[in-house]
Amino acid sequence: MHMRQRRVKIRHKGEDDAVAGIIVAVMIVGLVIAVVSIIQTVYVPQWMSEREATHMMEVADQFSQIKYTLDNLAVSEKTTPVSTYITLGNKELGFLSSARAFGHLQLITQGCSVEISHDEGTSVTDFYTLEYSSENAYYLDQTYIYESGAVILEQAEGTVMINTPSVSIEKDGVEGTISMGLIALIPEGGVTTLGGYGTYPLRLRYKDTPISIDLNGTESIKIETPYTNSWYTYFSNALKTSEFLPGVDYAITKDDSFVTLTFSDTIDVTVTLEIFEIYIQMAPGWV
C-alpha cells in the first residue's frame, strides 16, 4: 500500500516581508488620501471662509479710513495729496486646492443726489459713489459704499450705515438748523474701475474752497440713493435725537429710490449746505 506524498510549498521569509510591505504601503496611501480628502472637503472651506471674513473686516476698516481721510481734507482744506489703500481680494492657499477671492472697486456717476427745496427754489447736487463689491468663493458677498460722506454696508440681509455723514441737526423753539457737509468725489487720472486681488493705492487731493450755501425756509430734503433704508433710519434717529417731533415738525417717507424729509409750517428750518470737492485717483502713476 502506497502512501500519498504531501507536497509542502515552502515560502521564503523574503517573500512574506515583500507582501507585508505592499499591504502596509497601500494602507498608508489610503490613509493619506483619506486625511487629505477630509482636509480638502471640511477644513479648507472653513479656513478660506475665515480668511475671506477677515478680508471683509479689513475692507470695512479701509472704507472707514477713506472717510476719515476725506473728512480731514475737508476740514483742513489742504491741497497736499494724501494716499490711502483698498485691498480687493486675497490669494488661494498655496498647498491645497482652493479658490481665489476677487473684488471690484468703481466710481459710479450720479450714484447719489441731494435735492433741497427752499424759499428761493430748488438746489440739486449730484455725487459720485465709491463702491466696493466682493466676489468671494466661500464667505457671503458684501458691498461697501461711500456716498456723500456716509459709509454703507450692503449684503443679503439688507443694508446698514456703518459711518454717518457730516450732518448736524439742532432745534431751538420753532427754528431748526441743519448743517450738511457733503463730500463730492471727482475722478482724476482716467481710471474709474479696479478689479482683481491685492492692495491698491487711492490718491486723494482737495480741490479748493468749498461751496457754501444758506438755504432759508427749507421745505424739504430729498435724497436719491439705492440705499434708502439706511438713509431713512439715519435721518429718523438723528431728528428724534435733536427733539424734532415726527408728525408735527416733519414727515419722512421712503421708496426704492428716494428718502424725502418734509418740514411743516410750524417750524422754520435753515439748511447750511457745504460741498467739499476732492479729487480721487484709483491707480498708481500720479498725475
- Over the chain, what is the mean pLDDT? 86
Q: Which of 90, 194, 95, 94 is nearest to 137 (CA)?
A: 90
Q: Which range of residues forms the domain containing residue 238?
A: 39-281
pLDDT(183) > 90: yes
Amino acid at 114: V
Are the C-beta atoms of residues 98 and 92 closer than 8 Å to each other?
yes
Contact in structure between 115 and 221 (CB atoms under 8 Å): yes
Cell of 160: 446698514
Q: How many domains does the chain have?
A: 1
Nine-digit cell string for 116: 433741497
What whole-number distance in Å separates Cα of residue 203 and Cα of residue 76? 17
| 98 in any annotated domain | yes
Instruction: List, for residues 12-23, the tens digit of each pLDDT value.
Output: 555 555 666 677
For the cut 70, the answer to whether the pLDDT of residue 24 exceeds it is no
SS3 213: strand
Tell me: the pLDDT tens digits for 186-210? 999 888 999 888 899 999 999 988 8
- Strand-strand pairing, 268-281 and 175-187: parallel
Please report whether residue 132 resides in a domain: yes
Please give the average per-residue pLDDT across 24-36, as a whole number: 69
Q: Looking at residue 6, what is its pLDDT?
A: 56
- Please compute the mean of the pLDDT values over residues 162-172 and round it to a whole number: 94
What is the structure's pLDDT at 99? 66
Q: Please say whether the beta carbons of 276 and 74 come within 8 A.
A: yes
In a domain, 156, yes or no: yes
Q: Is 137 helix (H, G, I), strand (E, B) or coil?
A: coil
**Domain-located, residue 11:** no
Does 81 reside within a domain?
yes
Using alpha carbons, select from 83, 91, 84 the residue that is nearest to residue 55: 91
Locate all alpha helices (DSSP H) within the chain, ordered by sequence.
Answer: 13-38, 44-76, 228-241
279 bridge partner residues: 186, 205
Is residue 18 in some structural domain?
Answer: no
> Is 12 among the domain residues?
no
Task: Read off the pLDDT of residues 212-264 as tens digits, 9 standing for 90 and up.
Answer: 889 999 999 999 999 999 999 999 999 999 989 999 999 999 999 999 999 99
Asked if residue 254 lies in contact with residue 232, where contact means CB atoms within 8 angstroms, the answer is: yes
Q: Residue 266 falls within a domain, yes or no?
A: yes
